[in-house]
Structure 1
Amino acid sequence: MSNRPEWLQPSRSIYSKQYGIIQVSAIIGDNLYFRKGIISQTIFNWEEEIKKGNLSQIQHTPTSKSLIYQEIATEIEGRNKLSYCDVIPEQAANLEQIPDSMHSAVNNVLKQLGINQLYSHQIEAWEAYNQGNHIILETPTSSGKSISFLLPVIHECFKGNSCIIFFNLKALAFDQEEKIREFVNLLPESIRPAILNINGDTPSQERKKLYTHKPSIICVTPDVWHHELNNYQFDNYNFVETLRKVSIIVIDELHFYSGIFGANFALLNRRTQLIIEQAGGNLSQLKYIYASATINNSQQIAQKISSRRENFTVISQSGARKAQTTFISLKPQNSVLYTTAQIAALLVSKDVVGICFCDSRETVKSLTQTIRKILVENGLPHLKNTISAFYANLKNNQRRKIIADIKSGDVKFIVSTSALEAGLDLGCIDAVLVCKYPGSILSFRQRAGRAGRKEEGLIVFIPSRQSILDSYYSNHPERLLTDPPEVINFNPNFENLLQAHILACCKESRPTINQIAKHFGQGGVAIANQLLEDKKLVYSFNNKLACARHLGYIHGDIKIRGSRSNNIDYINTSTGEEFEQSAVNSALREVYPDAIYIAQDFDGNPVWYRSLELKIKEGQAFLKPTSQTNLFTRPQGAIRFEEVKTTGEEKLIQLPRGVIKLTPKICNISESIFGYKLYNRESRWTCPNRDCRNHNQSLASKLENCSICNSQLTERDIIQLVEELPYKEALTTSYSTSCLEVEIDLQATNLFKSKVEQIRSIIKNQKYISREERELFEYKETDICIHSLAHQLMLALPLVEHGASSKDVDFILHEEPSQPNLVGYFFDTVEGGTGMCDTLFQYLEKAISKARFLVENCPCKHGCSNCTVIYRCPDDNTAISKQVGLSILQDLIQQQVQTF
């Protein structure tokens, strides 16, 4: 080996043109072996590679961001934390000539902006517009979706029409308005449309003055537009004329419109269409353009929002250039927060501009401080002020300053909540840290899409050891970029929501009953007739429906994003920060006064709190941090169900023996908590013999056998009731919501019993029976089966629908002595519904498949909070078995689901 260079030695870092910076593992003969994370690789004939210049000393590494990223990967590898490293090649732009059919003034503006050609997907959108189609743009972040919808919008304005562009966040509306204004201001003044930013910062009376008889581009959020439509009744000529001319409605960030937000937005669009019709507009010519991240059911959601069924063009192939991206995945970490802070500090020290997303303001602030502390410890105190926290509650001037500072280079790293996940223009970001799996493939790609918009990008996935999904994607990181995304879903036909929006439209535009039928369907007609009977609607002239005056300002009763009264913020009394949020009924069972509540910190470790006060009307619960304790509490309460009506066709699942029937319903639910029990859990070595005096007594483990009956000692959790504490006055909440009734016939019940008996027979032969296994003998077989299955399906729903949470839905077994079949109910956890029961019903097969995936991949033995246990369970997680649930899921996955 005399001809081997001194720099080419095992454990040394070298530069490879093909692989970047690598660390040599061994050199055997002509072969050089190295590792990238957990993958071993080989370079054949290393001498020849050196002669060709493909291998060299690290000092001779060409300077580029991509090689800095390789250096970072090598440093992470040196800390034994690297699991995977891959370089995703650059995707060249697919450009086409600007069509002759485009207005010459627009062509001139594009050239002034340095755009001499358009991406292929922008051309495709233009052609779809000219064909009169609705358009769904599903190209990646920073692919030029804004230009794609702006070109048709401006051409409609040239025709004398107006357009509405919906942005889901006010900050996004401001950002996009600036980009639109930059484009429009380059047009000749004589044909330049007005740009109206309709936002809640401008008083209502001043907003009325913004409208003009000129063609206009209205930039607005759904929240503000909901109230803005009330102006129609006041004969504001310019407002009415603007609405009459609306020919395109653009909906940006379509993937955010799920759950109650999506349902309200769909109904808001029906009201908008009705008003356009009332103003004399031509609804047959009204077109919709949607910009969205890739979701599994974009056309279905677009149809729900627009009430259109045909002529949709879905554009998902991007022609935009995508810079080369380095994708790094770490091994699962115990301390995600500290590891994330270390990597962020490393990026900043190498002049890499980055961003990291977190789930709460509390975590954002904690991570920001930790990064600054590490920079000081590393001798870089001058960089600590280049780290900035970003979250929704910042004032507008603060938000704008941070965004300006990162664009100018004064800020090098942003720690943000999801407030920056939407399409704000941050093209200067090089690197994205994704700490922990963010709950959905869609969210991961939205966050990762921030990396390297202009130059080479870096994505770093930092998984937590506490999560099944983190561990799974740590072992299969490439699937984060290839797995299909989740669906989004909502139910716009829930009666309470329909009623509120029908009242609003009758206040705004006084429609006829035929117009109600056209825009809200026969369900809307039935609701309108009931409102007439209840004197909430009255007939005015020409058989038009008007809202009764005594109802006042009914628009205030509709919370577009869901009512705050349906949510409780969990506030840490030591910091004053909100660290969690929950629906009222979940909060009733979790943070009732004096409850001991266990949350998780950023790294997934348990943190204990004591609930000091629950204010339901104010939407707040105050919890004081406390030390780890063996004490725990359980609420004492009751849930009452009252079925209101069946809302759809039932589904039948044919089992090997018997049938499960699922029926969508609306139910009134009343839930009360009238006290709690305080328990102590203590782990003891004890005698397992129930007939022995030493049974459950604390004995020394060194004895090995009981001194009385000679049984082998076992370690068991002994739970003892400390005290039972009633409240002077019960805490109660009542609401109407969507439910899914689950009915299991006698044959299926017998099948379930046989499954439990099979598992029981195996357990009986064991020498030691755990507490979890003993529960299989303490509860009815059918209760164990249905309860375990229900929990596993609820925990899988976030894998089915983007933005879903297992807190959005609950399940309860319903005892009915006269009913031969077993019955349970899934139910949405807020007034008006979250859409989760509808998602479970619509995507049942997918939910079953995802539930099996979760349970099979969870390393726990008997069930944990990742796969089977839900701590807020109304039945206190009794009659639960991971193994039984999995056995049923394996049966269900092979069965045909039939709709009747």
Structure 2
Amino acid sequence: MASTDFRELVSGWEKSGRFPGDLVHARIFPARPARFEDLDPPLDPTLAERLTGRGIGRLYGHQAQAIRLIRGGNHTVVVSGTASGKTLCYQVPIAERLLEDRTSTSLLVFPTKALAQDQLGSIQALSLPQMVVSAYDGDLPREQRSRVRRRANVILTNPDMLHYGILPNHGLWKGFLSRLGHVVIDEMHYLRGMFGSHTANIIRRLRRLAAHYGADPTFVLTSATIGNPVDLAERLCGTEVSLVDGDDSPAGERMVAIWNPPLKEEDSSSRRSSIAETTDLYVDLVRRGVHTIAFGRSRRATELIHVNAAGRLGAAADRISPYRAGYTARDRRDIEARLFSGELVGISATNALELGVDIGGLDAALLCTFPGTISSFRQQSGRAGRERDMALVVLVTGEDALDQYFVHHPEELFGRTPEAAVVNPTNPDVMDYHLSCAAHELPLGWRDSPVFGDDLWESGARLVGEGDLRLEDRRLLWTGRRSPAHGRSIRSSDSRSFTIYDLTTRRVIGEVDWERAFSDVHEGAVYLHKGRTYLVEELDVAGLEVRVRSARVDYYTEPHVQKALDVIGVSDQGRVGAMGSFLGPVRVSAHVLGYRRKYWMRDRGNDRRTIPLELPPTQIETEAFWFTVPGSVMDRAGIDRREAPGALHAAEHTMIAMLPLFAICDRSDIGGLSITYHPQTGDATIFIHEGYQGGAGIASVAYPAGEELVKATVAALSRCGCVSGCPSCVQSPKCGNFNEPLSKSGAHRLLTTALDDDKSIADN
């Protein structure tokens, strides 16, 4: 379509009265010209010709800088924006090496199969006879795997296949590993939390096996903008890296707007749904032929945007589609192809499309609520834009505290340094697992200390004590017969997942992790998939199967979760105002007791009955930080015994909402518990804990920022104009107690008193 003047379009939205939301801020970012650099020595003529055939006549400055470093054998991390040509930074050195020695090999590791399949075509487009490229993932038929191992010298895979399929069978890969010249870790910023911690250990095992077969590959990592690219790259690889940070590719003019849904009533603190508001804008853009992506924070949001938009677009509904994890590989690739070709004008997606899958040029990106981190905001925003045409990005804010924080502080959205991404390779649970895998691959010895670090022997002693390893001739050997790799999932804290089976069509339609199953797909839960609504008829825990049936209902479901927490130890402690501040390991137990129905239409009200469930409790040992509140602070804040539970609970919710300002995390990465008296701390206590077995490092990053977190929490409570608490300050969509009890006033008095008490102590 012709370039759209989005200034006029957004101004029209505001003036027409058809869109009830408020344009609270808009900023125009000017177009950026390309900056080119030449290489010395220049590219091989054959390679230069192939690139020219793809429309690449010269290299951008950041590409040339990265290629120089990689040519010199430097492990390199490349940080640049969406669609800036990061892939060429590693494609060129790989191709150059193959032109010199066609027996050399390269391994490209992508966080998802979809991204690997997308990049497969990009590398094959170089059309070099010396380059034999293949994807090696779970979708590759078994009968073809032997041929790929023998023939391919450039293999694209993912951490899962590297872990489950390649490393345990390294004897079959001896030839490939012995000639390994480059290892690429693409979209590094995606490798955080538990998945990143597992991947860091998988990469260490790969380095160890490559060295065993005589190879010393150069590592190349690519990333979106994050706060700690060098630190993350070095934690992932266990080696020092050089940094290339910049974007010299051209970009068209970009308009970024913040759109705040209106209050439902003038005297109300509740706002119109961000999903409804996003759908309005999405439908208008699609009707105008503006190629648009609408990002939702959750699968449910993505599906609802699609369902509501399709119902209003009539025949044009065929030109939009939802997209999220959980679809089959064939469905995802079909959607990607239709979007790239222009057949689809609109797509509603989770962050599954935040990664660099090539879906062609899009004109607009709608973000249905802040995506959780500045890094994700920039990545999703970067999905809109072509070289010359103007692009539109609209953040449709939600009710929660962090979204409303950016409504009142838009400069923070554009100017704040991106958060640090966190991985914890030495998580004892994760490290024990991967050292078991490593010992199965090759006996562990003193030469492996530089690869796995000083924790190798502590972990090894633990595993010997448990009988998983045995010590023989100063080496650690695996005691089992089969590889332990298949014993668990590397993408969650539990190896188990449930298959979702449609009783109507008798087809498998998706899957769900063990951690989410009890709260999301319990018996009676409403489940959304590809725009259709299902009711869960049975959650078969023993058989790991969820049985659903298509249904039409006008409500969704929320679980009731009972939680308990035991402190295992204290790693660090200090003070934030008059409160004690602590960091340490904890044991968290959670039990889904029942659920409630919440109706979409306000006139139906909400069913306050809790429908009981009989489900097993879950338990993890993880990391947490917590604040203890002395009784003297409660007294000075005027908080009595009746108000205390609501005050602590409200403070906990708002702290969790503001935490992503200080460490990259999603709501699913963290949880909380507040209690008026904890027997181990001896005081009222607010706990914020990680959601993964062993912890992923989030608590250790957030703990030093405890005072800043409390101050940000107080600011969020002060700014919100509601009287008794609302989703913009103290209510949480993830609360397992239905946001009961909550005292906004009590939380504000508690935290301000704690901070003021510290000031008065300092003054004296």
TM over 0.5: yes
Amino acid at match of 1:793: M
Which residue does 1:559 correspond to in 2?
489
List aligned pairs for 1:471-870, cutoff 5 A: 471-474=404-407, 479-512=412-445, 514-539=446-471, 543-549=474-480, 552-563=482-493, 584=515, 615-616=540-541, 618=544, 639=564, 641=566, 643=568, 649-653=571-575, 655=577, 657=578, 660-665=580-585, 667-671=586-590, 731-740=615-624, 742=626, 744=628, 749=630, 751-757=632-638, 776-778=640-642, 788-805=650-667, 808-813=670-675, 825-833=687-695, 835-841=697-703, 843-870=705-732
Deviation at 1:562, TM superposition (A): 0.9
Aligned AA for 1:740? A
Report the equivalent of 2:267.
none
Identity between Structure 1 and Structure 2 (%): 21
Decide whether the 8 Å contact of 2:282 with 2:292 is kept in 1: yes
Q: Equivalents in 2 of 1:465, 1:311: separation in Å?
A: 39
- Correspondent of 1:320 among 249, 255, 264: 249
CA distance in 2, matches of 1:739, 1:464: 31
Between structure 1 and structure 2, the one with the greater Rg is 1
Q: How does 1:248-647 map to 2 (within 5 A)?
A: 248-282=182-216, 286-308=217-239, 310-313=240-243, 315-333=244-262, 334=272, 336-376=274-314, 381=315, 383-461=316-394, 463-464=396-397, 466-474=399-407, 479-512=412-445, 514-539=446-471, 543-549=474-480, 552-563=482-493, 584=515, 615-616=540-541, 618=544, 639=564, 641=566, 643=568
CA 1:622 to 1:108, structure 2 compared with 1: closer, same or farther past 3 Å? closer
- Matched residue of 2:50: which SS? helix
1:47-80 deviations in Å (ceiling 9; x for gaps): xxxxxxxxxxxxxxxx95143x344234313323
1:205-225 Cα shifts (integer Å, max 9, x gaps): 6424322488x2221111111
Question: Match of 2:56?
Answer: 115
Distance across 1 between alignment mates of 2:312 and 2:554: 27
> 1: CA distance between counterparts of 2:477 and 2:702?
37
Deviation by residue 1:133-167 (Cα, 9 ceiling, x = unmatched): 33222211111111122222333445644322111
| Cα distance, 1:298 vs structure 2 | 1.6
Q: Quick one: which amino acid aligns to residue 272 of structure 1?
A: L
TM (norm. structure 2) is 0.82
Aligned-residue offset at 1:633? 9.5
Distance in 1 (CA, whole Å) between partners of 2:536 and 2:278 is 31
- 2:35 is equivalent to residue 94 of structure 1: yes
Amino acid at match of 1:73: V
Residue 268 of structure 2 aligns with which residue?
none
Give the one of 169, 174, 180 matched to 1:246.
180
User: For the Cα contact (< 8 Å) 1:737–1:831, is it kept in 2?
Assistant: yes
- Is 1:142 aligned with 2:72? no
Partners of 1:832 and 1:567 lie apart in 2 by 19
Q: Distance in 1 between matches of 2:77 and 2:114?
A: 23
Measure, in 1, the Cα distance between the counterparts of 2:259 and 2:406.
Answer: 10
- Alpha-carbon distance in structure 2 between the residues aligned to 1:633 and 1:205: 45
Please name the residue that 1:768 is paired with.
none
Does the 8 A contact of 1:565 with 1:619 survive in 2? no
Shift of 1:354: 2.1
Report the CA distance between 1:263 and its aligned residue.
0.9
In the alignment, is the contact (CA less than 8 A) between 1:432 and 1:448 conserved in 2? Answer: yes
Name the amino acid aligned to 1:481: F
Describe the shift of the 1:362–1:874 C-alpha distance in structure 2 as closer, same or farther (beyond 3 A): closer
Whether the 8 Å contact between 2:625 and 2:699 is mirrored in structure 1 is no
Q: Distance in 2 between matches of 1:818 and 1:232?
A: 48
**RMSD of the TM alignment (CA)?**
4.4
Structure 1 residues 557-590: Cα deviation after superposition (integer angstroms, max 9, x where no partner): 1311115667789999999999998974x87689
Offset at residue 880 of structure 1 (A): 5.0
Question: Partners of 2:312 and 2:484 in 1: how far apart?
Answer: 53
- Partner-residue secondary structure (3-state), 2:176: helix
Deviations 1:865-891 (A, max 9, x none): 443345776888677543443355557
Is the Cα–Cα contact under 8 Å of residues 795 and 806 in structure 1 kept in the other structure?
Answer: no
Higher RCO (CA < 8 A, seq sep 6+): 2
| Cα distance per residue 1:257-278 (max 9 Å; x no partner) | 1211111111111111111122
Match of 1:77 in 2: 14
SS in 1 for 2:454: helix
Partners of 1:366 and 1:538 in 2: CA distance: 54
Give the number of equivalent residue pairs: 731
Distance 1:263 1:731, change over 3 A: same
Query: Which among 111, 118, 133 is matched to residue 168 of structure 1?
Result: 111
Unmatched 5+ residue regions in structure 1? 1-62, 602-607, 680-718, 761-775
2:672–2:689 contact (8 Å) kept in structure 1? yes
- Relative to structure 1, the CA distance from residue 217 to residue 578 in structure 2 (aligned partners, 3 Å threshold; closer, same or farther) is closer
**Which whole-Å CA distance do the structure 2 matches of 1:853 and 1:572 have between them?**
47
Aligned amino acid, residue 107 of structure 2: I
Task: State the TM-score, normalizing by the size of structure 1.
Answer: 0.71
Is the alpha carbon distance of 1:174 and 1:816 closer, same or farther for their aligned partners in structure 2, counting shifts above 3 Å?
Answer: closer
Aligned position for 1:202: 140
Q: Distance in 1 between matches of 2:231 and 2:709?
A: 18
CA contact (8 A) 1:136 1:290 kept: yes
Counterpart-to-counterpart distance in 2, 1:163 and 1:892: 56
Q: Is the 8 A contact 2:399 2:727 kept in 1?
A: no
C-alpha deviations, 1:644-676, integer Å up to 9, x for none? x66xx4131253x5x6241322x4444557x67
CA separation of 1:861 and 1:134: change in aligned 2, threshold 3 A: farther
TM-superposition CA deviations, 1:76-122 (whole Å, max 9, x none):
13323462555432111111234325434333333333322211111
**Paired residue secondary structure (1:275):** helix
Return the offset for 1:612: 6.9
Letter in 2 for 1:322: A
1: CA distance, partners of 2:359 / 2:352? 13
Contact 1:368–1:388 (CA<8 Å) still a contact in 2?
Answer: yes
CA deviation digits over 1:1-30, x for unaligned, max 9?
xxxxxxxxxxxxxxxxxxxxxxxxxxxxxx
CA–CA separation in structure 2 for the residues paired with 1:616 and 1:866: 36
Q: Quickly say closer, same or farther: Cα 1:78–1:505, change in 2 above 3 A.
A: same
Cα offset, 1:168, TM superposition: 0.8
Alignment match, 1:25 = none
The alpha-carbon distance between structure 1 residues 433 and 876, as it changes in their structure 2 partners (threshold 3 A), is closer
Tell me by how many angstroms 1:739 deviates.
2.9
Moved more, 168-177 or 480-489: 480-489
Contact map agreement 1:812 1:825 (CA 8 A) in 2: yes
Cα distance in 1 for partners of 2:362, 2:596 equals 51
SS class of match (1:107): helix
Structure 1 residues 145 and 861, CA gap change in structure 2 (3 angstroms)? same
